[in-house]
Amino acid sequence: MNTERLLEGKKILIIDDEKALREMVGDILSVANFEVVTAEDGLAGLKKMYSESPDLVLLDCEMPNMDGYEFLEKVRADPMLVNKPVIMLTVRNTENDEIRGLKLGIDDYITKPFKSTLLVARVKTVLERKALSLGANPLTLLSGNISINSEVDRRISSGSSFAMLYIDLSNFKSFNDRYGFERGDKVIKHVATILTRVMRETGSADDFVGHIGGDDFVVICSAGGYAKICERIIQLFDESIPGFYDSVDRKNGYITTEDRQRNPQQFPFISVSIAVVSTAHTRITHYAQISEIAATLKKVAKKYNHSAYVVERRKE
């Protein structure tokens, strides 16, 4: 998977009180194969952060209702938004402006007016740089394997109680075979959006969302809080996944493609399987132990013909 494909379709939120500028920047980014959403001020932009889950924000400095700096303060205070890359658009770029923005976590500045080629180049560079700096998955920008391992080790070494949810998709390969990787990537990004939304709605500030790779994700939450989270993930996923299928397949309730032996076969819609390992039920001493237990649980979850979660309850 090359870099251009990973960047293609990334969602960019443009927050600016000038309609003409929003439209101009939106046109430039759309031509460059980015998905674009817009907001007219920081307050509306903050709502879009939660409803649209953009991959990057282009943020005007001076706006009514909520300016760019106040918007940044609120975003950086939210654990689920803190790592979102932000480029500030400004007509002035004084030293004090830069210092204030850097303290709030600005990733780059672009001074108005600017050339379209510069805008696109800066957006691509910030997206790539942010993914590398976070050890993030390049498709979803969620924390990747290095961060996941560190987070688990931190909780184990501190003696914290926690639950780890291993999440993956059943029948995803048949979906990719039927519709191609581009649409498959949209499903993966959609799962990431669901997970961050659920953790924002039902989780706590100490919760963690990561993307192992492919269709495999993890969530780390309180030891006793997993049931509500699993149920909400399944609800949102099952409600929305039919929208990724063509109308004929939605009407049928299945797709027809080849199985691994290249024989025609009907496959149901994608479902989500969740394996839960909680310190409330199991004594955890190292990450490999969680992975081993979860691998067994996922096999059980996948035996169901629908989305499901399975919990390890053995005391060890």
Q: Are residues 95 and 170 in the same domain?
A: no
Neighbouring-strand partners of residue 192: none
What phi and psi values does residue 308 have, to the nearest 5 degrees?
Answer: -160, 160
pLDDT number for residue 200: 85
* Domain boundary residue, one of 134, 156, 185: 134
Q: Are residues 62 and 166 in the same domain?
A: no
Q: Is residue 140 part of a domain?
A: no
228-237 pLDDT tens trace: 999 999 999 9
Q: Are residues 71 and 172 in the same domain?
A: no
Q: Is residue 16 part of a domain?
A: yes
Q: Are residues 179 and 116 in the same domain?
A: no
pLDDT number for residue 5: 61
271-278 vs 208-213, strand pairing mode? unpaired
Q: Are residues 118 and 204 in the same domain?
A: no
Q: Is residue 316 part of a domain?
A: no
Question: Is residue 2 left, alpha or beta, with left meaning phi > 0 and alpha meaning psi from -120 to 50?
Answer: beta
Q: Is residue 186 part of a domain?
A: yes
* Domain boundary residue, one of 83, 110, 134: 134
Q: Collect contacts of 172-178 with beta carbons under 8 A, ≥24 apart.
A: 172/215, 172/270, 174/255, 174/257, 174/259, 174/265, 174/267, 175/244, 175/255, 175/267, 175/270, 177/257, 177/258, 178/249, 178/255, 178/256, 178/257
Q: Are residues 117 and 155 in the same domain?
A: no
* Domain boundary residue, one of 69, 102, 134: 134
What phi and psi values does residue 153 have, to the nearest 5 degrees?
Answer: -60, -40
Q: Are residues 157 and 126 in the same domain?
A: no
Q: Are residues 110 and 69 in the same domain?
A: yes
pLDDT number for residue 103: 77
Q: Is residue 139 part of a domain?
A: no
Q: Is residue 276 part of a domain?
A: yes
Domain holding 272, by residue range, is: 145-311
Count the Cβ atoms, other than its own, within 10 Å of residue 222.
Answer: 18
Q: Are residues 154 and 286 in the same domain?
A: yes
The ranges of the chain with pLDDT < 70 are 1-6, 79, 92-98, 134, 314-316
Q: Is residue 56 part of a domain?
A: yes
Q: Are residues 14 and 116 in the same domain?
A: yes
Q: Are residues 45 and 103 in the same domain?
A: yes
For residues 57 and 37, give the distance between their C-alpha atoms in angstroms, rounded to a whole number.
10
Q: Are residues 72 and 156 in the same domain?
A: no
Q: Is residue 113 part of a domain?
A: yes
CA 158 to chain CA centroid, nearest Å = 27
CATH number for the domain spanning 207: value is 3.30.70.270
Q: Count how many domains the chain has.
A: 2
CATH number for the domain spanning 27: value is 3.40.50.2300
CA 49 to chain CA centroid, nearest Å = 12
